[in-house]
Amino acid sequence: MAEELYIPDHTSKEELYNSLIPQIKGLTSIESDLIANLSNTCAVLKTAFDHLWIGFYLVKEDELVLGPFQGPIACTRIKPGKGVCGTTWSEKKTYVVEDVEAFPGHIACSSASKSEIVVPVIKNDVVVAVLDIDSDTLSTFDTIDQNYLEELCDYLSKFF
């Protein structure tokens, strides 16, 4: 896949994921560097879906630290149990948030964010990072996103 990305036109979300995930796997299989692979993963997802913000927070000791991302500037550090990212980290499970204003303790890095999905990256039963995707519309994410992004994060865990 080198530097080319194929994004099918007029396709369902599921078909789009089915096209993108093999391309991400192909792109990352030729590179062993974690940051390079997370960066390109963000670029692929941002190009395909054009969500407000797509990025990774990496576990560094007792907090999540901003990693590779695409979108506006972001919060740089998040404590466990704080906001959607910190809750995903501490509870080791994906959160799909239809309306971020309704999530207790939501951290508003951007006032434009309306809905969010956060998926843990788990290696050896330990969360090593989270994938955070924000949308500027309500109820953007669903179980289709959850299933495919969990598959993607499971794959990416091998680079940690």
Measured CA angle at 74 (ends 69, 79), to 5 deg: 105
Looking at residue 107, what is its pLDDT? 80
Give the strand order in the sheet containing 115-123: 77-78, 63-70, 53-60, 126-135, 115-123, 95-97
Structural domain includes residue 96: yes
Q: Are 54 and 47 in contact (CB under 8 A)?
A: no
Structural domain includes residue 3: no
> Which candidate, 83, 85, 80, places its Cα nearest to that of 69?
85
Structural domain includes residue 42: yes
Structural domain includes residue 2: no
Query: Helix 34-49 vs helix 13-29: angle between axes, to the nearest 10 degrees?
Result: 160
User: How high does pLDDT run on average in the chain?
Assistant: 95
Q: What percent of the chain has pLDDT over 70?
A: 98
- Average of per-residue pLDDT across 98-102: 94
Distance in angstroms (rounded) separating the CA atoms of residues 158 and 160: 6
Distance in angstroms (rounded) separating the CA atoms of residues 11 and 17: 10
**Per-residue pLDDT tens over the stretch 122-151:** 999 999 999 999 999 999 999 999 999 999
User: What single-letter DSSP state applies at residue 78?
Assistant: E
- Structural domain total, the chain: 1
Distance in angstroms (rounded) separating the CA atoms of residues 80 and 82: 6
Structural domain includes residue 26: yes
**Per-residue pLDDT tens over the stretch 29-42:** 999 999 999 999 99
Structural domain includes residue 148: yes
Residue span of the structural domain in which 115 resides: 13-159
Confidence of residue 1 (pLDDT cuts 50, 70, 90): very low
Structural domain includes residue 97: yes
CB atoms inside a 10 Å sphere around CB 12:
10
Give the CATH number for residue 54.
3.30.450.40
Structural domain includes residue 85: yes
Looking at residue 74, what is its pLDDT? 94
